């Protein structure tokens, strides 16, 4: 009888894994983006073509960052947490991409879902351990996470130099994905 429970447990786990992979593939299907980027439709929101909602958050190490102050630069807005395995997996790629492209005007903002962390110090320790040099912002009240609909993490938004949302990506991003998404916009 115990053997049958193990078989059922494995079958359920494989089913959930398969569903998760298929669900992630469906969520990450990208609409083609014109090389010049889609123009703002006049609405503020998180859908493609909307002006990205503005926010200002405290940065690890002091100071604040306001999204609208980054107009003129391409932005990857990444919502993440230290306890999230896919978030941890993408951090080395994000750091490499940032180092290789920051002089070209590319910006990565890592918005940490701080209310889910044991403490802000744990986030700072994580940043130090991974050698992250792009801005890590603390979202202790989930204001940004809620506005940007971070239901699962990591979730990343690609925002063009005009502050317009051009794409959304759920799951860990590789350097190649970041390069493809940012090179397709202005």
Residue 26's SS3 state is: helix
57's enclosing H/E stretch is strand 56-59
* Residues of the domain holding 66: 31-183
- Retrieve residue 16's tokens: 């959930």
42 located within any domain: yes
175 located within any domain: yes
97 located within any domain: yes
Domains in the chain, number: 1
Summarised one tens digit per residue, pLDDT across range 117-151 is 999 999 999 999 999 999 999 999 999 999 999 99
114 and 144 Cβ atoms separated by less than 8 Å: no
168 located within any domain: yes
6 located within any domain: no
**Mean pLDDT, residues 15-31:** 42
137 and 173 Cβ atoms separated by less than 8 Å: no
CATH number reported for the structural domain that contains residue 58 in this entry: 3.40.30.10
Residue 104's pLDDT is what? 87
* pTM for the full predicted model: 0.78
């Amino acid at each position: 009888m115990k053997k049958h429970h193990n078989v059922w447990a494995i079958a359920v786990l494989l089913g959930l894994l398969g569903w998760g992979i298929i669900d992630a593939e469906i969520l990450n299907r990208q609409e083609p983006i014109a090389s010049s980027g889609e123009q703002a439709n006049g609405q503020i929101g998180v859908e493609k073509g909307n002006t990205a909602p503005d926010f200002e958050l405290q940065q690890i190490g002091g100071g604040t960052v306001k999204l609208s102050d980054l107009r003129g630069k391409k932005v990857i807005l990444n919502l993440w947490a230290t306890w999230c395995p896919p978030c941890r997996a993408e951090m080395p790629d994000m750091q490499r991409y940032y180092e290789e492209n920051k002089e070209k005007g590319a910006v990565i903002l890592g918005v940490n879902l701080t209310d889910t962390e044991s403490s802000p110090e744990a986030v700072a320790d994580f940043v130090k351990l991974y050698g992250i040099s792009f801005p890590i912002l603390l979202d202790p009240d989930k204001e940004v996470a809620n506005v940007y609909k971070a239901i699962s993490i990591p979730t990343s938004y690609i925002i063009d130099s005009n502050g317009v949302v051009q794409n959304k990506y759920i799951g860990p991003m590789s350097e190649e994905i970041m390069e493809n998404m940012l090179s397709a916009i202005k």
